[in-house]
Amino acid sequence: MGRITARRRVARYTVGERISVRDDHLAVEEPLEIRIGGSPLTMTMRTPGDDVELATGFLLSEGIVTSAEQVRAAMHCAPDGEENTYNVLDVTLDPVRAAVAADLTRAFTTTSACGLCGKSSIDAIRATSAFDLSNDDTVVDAEFIATLPVRLRGGQSAFEKTGGLHAAALFDAATGELLVLREDVGRHNAVDKVIGWALAAGRVAGSGLVLMVSGRASFELAQKAFMAGIPLLAAVSAPSSLAVEMAEDVGLGLVGFVRDNRMVVYAGAERVTNESAAQQRAVKARTA
């Protein structure tokens, strides 16, 4: 898998048994510096691969860009006088969006652990989004949502080797099709990568899309879904209180603990139906 995984010699211990030495696979983590027109904007720790999607998804989730046409070019470059390690990506934006990036005053320092921290005002985020989820009438059935964790897990090829990567995927709510799946050591990076794909594919605003993530639904992930116009976020684990608060405020459907045909709808219950269960009850009633 190239730079996505690395092989290392390890010692495996089992209490009361002999130590075994063997090769193991680790998820690769390397820094990526994102530049705009040659000027550094942010640094994130990520799993190499799909860096352009990661960068453009990040720019979208921060409100710096709102369409693919605003991104003129993106290329890896070498730090001055150094070998190209493909850990620096320079993005060229149209003049208007480049000016927006240049005017930013908040430091975009991120890590694979926390992502974009420090956003304290939901109102400020809502004001910067180009999309209004209240105009999105996407509704999905609980039976469909229940299938997403297995489908997500089935596409995690790097996780199979390492056990150390988060995943995010976009599904078409109307057809049920898995559109894109990305893995990364940072859950926020995995989401940025699928959002970057959606931007390039013309699926932003993300009307009719469902974002599924392999871990918890934190505030930052809810923010990214909203900024990309995605109406529903589902997660294998729990949401945070601020994620629920934001989802309620902006009209984002938020579903957590999607496991074994069960789930908890924390916000946007109008976006989730249980028609399959109603149909089953109707069939039983007719045959009784």
pLDDT at 232: 98
Q: Tell me, what amino acid is at 31?
A: P
15: left (phi over 0), alpha (psi -120 to 50) or beta: beta
Distance CA 135, CA 137 (A): 6
Is 218 exposed, middle or buried, given 0-12, 13-18 or 19+ CB atoms closer than 10 A?
buried
In terms of pTM, does the model score above 0.75? yes
Mean pLDDT confidence for 43-52: 94
Six-digit token pair at 255?
């579903």
pLDDT at 103: 79
Is 151 exposed, middle or buried, given 0-12, 13-18 or 19+ CB atoms closer than 10 A?
middle
Distances (CA, A) of 23 to 8, 20, 178, 206: 5, 10, 33, 42
pLDDT reading at 279 higher than 80: no
pLDDT at 282: 59
pLDDT at 281: 58
pLDDT at 161: 75
Instruction: Tell me the pairing of strands 71-76 and 253-259.
Output: unpaired
Distance CA 75, CA 111 (A): 22
pLDDT at 127: 62
pLDDT reading at 116 higher than 50: no
Of 45, 68, 114, 139, catalytic: 114
DSSP 271: G
pLDDT digits (tens, 9 = 90+) for 150-166: 999 988 877 667 777 89
Respond yes or no: is residue 114 known to be catalytic. Answer: yes
Q: Identify the CA nearest to 42 among candidates 92, 94, 88.
A: 88
**DSSP strands (E only) in 77-193:** 88-93, 108-109, 140-141, 166-172, 178-184
pLDDT reading at 108 higher than 60: no
pLDDT band at 169 (very low <50, low <70, confident <90, very high): very high
pLDDT band at 7 (very low <50, low <70, confident <90, very high): confident
**Which has the minimum average pLDDT: 53-67, 126-140, 221-235?**
126-140
Distance CA 207, CA 192 (A): 17
Could you tell me the sign of the dihedral formed by the alpha carbons of 129, 235, 2, 115, in that order? positive
pLDDT digits (tens, 9 = 90+) for 250-275: 999 999 999 999 999 999 999 999 98
pLDDT band at 1 (very low <50, low <70, confident <90, very high): very low
Q: Identify the CA nearest to 262 among candidates 167, 145, 141.
A: 145
DSSP 239: B
pLDDT at 25: 87
CB 261 within 8 A of CB 274: no
pLDDT digits (tens, 9 = 90+) for 172-226: 999 999 999 999 999 999 999 999 999 999 999 989 999 999 999 999 999 999 9
Distance CA 278, CA 143 (A): 11
For residue 217, the Cα-to-chain-centroid distance in whole angstroms is 10
Mean pLDDT confidence for 26-55: 93
